[in-house]
Structure 1
Amino acid sequence: MSKFSRLGNDLYSGRKSVDFVGKTRIWYAVSGLIIIAAVLGLYFRGLNFGLEFRGGAQFTVSVPTSEVTQANADKLRDDVSATGIASAQQVVVTTAGKNSIIVETEPVTPTESNQIEVAIEKSVGVTHGDISTDEIGPSWGKEVAKRSAIGLVVFLVLVVFLIWGYFRQWKMSVAAMVALAHDLVITVGIYALSGFEVTPATVTGVLTILGFSLYDTVVVFDKVRENTKNLRASRMTYPEAANLAVNQTLVRSINTSIVALIPVGAILYVGAVQLGSGDLKDLSLALFVGMAAGAYSSIFIATPLLAHMKSSEAANAELEKRIRTRRAHDVDRYAQVPSYADDLPIAADPDVVPPSDARAEPAARPTGGNRPQPSSDATGRGRVVPQSRGPVRPSSSSGRVQPTRQAKSKRGKK
């Protein structure tokens, strides 16, 4: 644990760093493959909408624990389909918990419901009191879907304005929304591939993961804003400052995600393995997949995308060019020294007097040549040459005897 703490300190101080922003192509490729798999699952398998959305009848059969087997479930499916009822041809039979088997059909009439109950009694040898029937109309499911869609749209609009108003940067809102769409597509695709039913509990889980994903993204963005507040003083480019922010919040994101995923994973195991089908299983699967995808997107998608958009701005691009030039100069200080070529003009040595006429005035320093000429202005150390107010004229006191300083012993004596 101490090594993990030291790693967190090194990441926060910058002594160690993982290049999340610089390897955007790798992260985008990984996310692209996952999204393609999710879209293919949606296209070929589709979502398995629960009874609450499509409507129908549900028969819950109470049997001893020893009879809750897949063999009895298959037998019930065949016997219910053999009734010849059109609504019972696409019957779904699943085990639920330790003493229940659930039979789901399309909407049926009261007479057809009685026929199905008789078929169930003969199939597994139960009485009429061991069967409970629930009928759900499709209108209720449509109302749930409609209200869920309205809630999702309102949530997204409010989040966009909240992030925009808090960070004062619309590009952060765009990056956060892209990461959020990434999480939603992956979660829905996993549901399609797993075959889990989409129930109102699933909708609740999906709306919950939206908040979790944005929470993690906003924390990282807040650190990005802190690091990029004064880039010129820090002498870092925007992608470097954003990458430092991800590294500084990496340990916190990992710890938060693990702490949140452990109990959700336990609920998923209990709901899917111990209890069978149910709202608990649908809710926990949406939460588990969404939380994992949200932790991934806040680190590997949102921040690299934000850094890519911000680095294209003129001010950040100019700063990045200046910093790279300065770093190249620091590595090799003589890299910018001009090279001399054969076609440069030849100038005489300014410190040598021509030998032809020794009595002549010293030659003036040449203005051309390879040697830089000193400026006539006094420069350096903050000195500025004052401007002259006019030519120097003879003073009226130039002919007078000027006082001189005498010794103390001769002062006052004539």
Structure 2
Amino acid sequence: MDDMKVINFMRLRTWATVLSLFLMLGSVASLAVKGINWGLDFTGGTLIELVYDQPVRTAEIRQQLSAAGYDDAVVQEFGSAEDILVRIPGNNPEMGTGVARVLGQNYDGAVEAVRVEFVGPQVGERLREQGGLGMLFAMLLITLYIAFRFQYKFSLGAILSLAHDVIFTLGIFALLGLQFDLTVMAAILAVIGYSLNDTIIVYDRIRENFRKLRKGDAVEVINVSLTQTLGRTLATSGTTLMVLFSLFLFGGEMIHNFALALIVGVGVGTYSSVYIASNMLIYMKISREDLIVPVKENQGEDEMP
């Protein structure tokens, strides 16, 4: 321990607090002014299943629909490269025929719309409500778990860290006007899990060092703990981000927003484990007394002859 060079992370904690407040205010303002651009999974729309006589590329279909005025169309393969599913806002029974005609003009072969269905906004409202309730319920369980596993001060720091990560990620999507669909919802839940895992590892080392190190105040103990977990944090975040950037660049448009949400979430989650979760312990004046294991009053009496 004495030979290890301790990095003074908490030296920047005041600046980090100001930065976090600025990011939160900016994210909330972005959500209030621009709002979330809900995808068809939440707003409803028309589903059109098209069958081609030869394999086609979804990127080319997307370009053709955009040129024809269907800018918000979502195109994906539906079981095979010949079976294509197109989702477009609006409820028009003739839309399937119109889309097939537009695509047939740019294709040397046959294109047929075999299924046209409308998904109403009521389904989207249910998905929004259930998704939001799911995230709130998950955070409540996380709060109870950490309060039981560690101490209530740790619980408050962890939940603020998770809220910081989720709000910032949503703010980025609102600011850029990116579509928020079920894949992005899944990415947000994955961000909560990733950030929580990173925070618990840091918290576990902080608790261990509070009990093991006899010298140093809370700032010094937290700096030692963060230094000890730095290698693991960088390795985990680095390898995760490499995979996510590969998905973002080469995974195709269907998972583009999913990968972006995870990239933003993993990056801000690594930051928040240090400067939100750990920093909050100092603001709440964490001490060794908070983490002392209570000794039973009759523990030594049973051992007496």
Q: TM-score range by the shorter chain?
A: 0.7 to 0.9
> Which of 171, 183, 192 is 2:174 aligned to?
192
Does 1:135 pair with 2:118? yes
Does 1:159 pair with 2:159? no
Amino acid at match of 1:296: Y
Match of 1:261 in 2: 241
Change (3 A) 1:74 1:29: same
Q: Could you say what secondary structure the match of 1:46 adopts?
A: coil
Amino acid at match of 1:289: V
Amino acid at match of 1:196: L
Q: State the shift of 1:46 in Å.
A: 2.2
Q: State the shift of 1:255 in Å.
A: 0.7
**In 2, distance between residues paired with 1:185 and 1:208?**
14
Q: Could you say what secondary structure the match of 2:118 adopts?
A: strand
> Which of 27, 32, 35 is 2:24 aligned to?
35
Q: State the shift of 1:139 in Å.
A: 2.4
Q: For 1:9-408, list aligned pairs within 5 A.
A: 13=2, 15-59=4-48, 68=60, 72-77=64-69, 92-93=72-73, 102=86, 104-108=88-92, 110=93, 112-113=94-95, 116-117=98-99, 120=102, 124=106, 129-131=111-113, 133-167=116-150, 169-229=151-211, 234-271=214-251, 275-276=252-253, 278=254, 280-310=255-285
Unaligned ranges ≥5, structure 2: 291-305
CA deviations over 1:360-392 (Å, ceiling 9, x no partner): xxxxxxxxxxxxxxxxxxxxxxxxxxxxxxxxx
**In 2, distance between residues paired with 1:242 and 1:258?**
22
Q: Could you say what secondary structure the match of 1:16 adopts?
A: coil
Question: Higher mean Cα deviation, 127-136 or 137-146?
Answer: 127-136
Amino acid at match of 1:140: V
CA deviations over 1:43-85 (Å, ceiling 9, x no partner): 33321211111001144776966993887444310xx7xxxxx
Structure 1 contact 75–123 (Cα < 8 Å) conserved:
no
Structure 2 contact 58–76 (Cα < 8 Å) conserved:
no
Match of 1:87 in 2: none
> Greater Rg, structure 1 or structure 2?
1
Q: State the shift of 1:260 in Å.
A: 1.6
**In 2, distance between residues paired with 1:293 and 1:67?**
31
**In 1, distance between residues paired with 2:148 and 2:87?**
51
**In 1, distance between residues paired with 2:109 and 2:102?**
9
**In 2, distance between residues paired with 1:144 and 1:40?**
24
**In 2, distance between residues paired with 1:182 and 1:139?**
30
Q: State the shift of 1:298 in Å.
A: 0.4
Match of 1:388 in 2: none
Change (3 A) 1:314 1:265: closer
Structure 1 contact 56–106 (Cα < 8 Å) conserved:
yes
Amino acid at match of 1:151: G
Structure 1 contact 73–94 (Cα < 8 Å) conserved:
no
Change (3 A) 1:75 1:156: closer
Unaligned ranges ≥5, structure 1: 1-11, 81-90, 317-414
CA deviations over 1:213-261 (Å, ceiling 9, x no partner): 1111011111111111266xx2211111111111111111111111222
Structure 1 contact 48–197 (Cα < 8 Å) conserved:
yes
CA deviations over 1:81-127 (Å, ceiling 9, x no partner): xxxxxxxxxx624676999895622123x2x4356347635864687
Structure 2 contact 62–73 (Cα < 8 Å) conserved:
no
Q: Could you say what secondary structure the match of 2:247 adopts?
A: helix
Change (3 A) 1:163 1:145: same
Taking only the aligned residue pairs, the percentage that are identical comes to: 25
Question: Higher mean Cα deviation, 239-248 or 24-33?
Answer: 24-33
Aligned Cα root-mean-square deviation (Å): 3.4
**In 1, distance between residues paired with 2:48 and 2:172?**
28
Q: What is the total number of aligned residue pairs between the two structures?
A: 282
- Which has the larger share of helix? 2
Question: Could you state the TM-score of these two structures normalised by the residue count of structure 1?
Answer: 0.59
Q: State the shift of 1:166 in Å.
A: 1.1
Match of 1:6 in 2: none
Structure 2 contact 39–181 (Cα < 8 Å) conserved:
yes
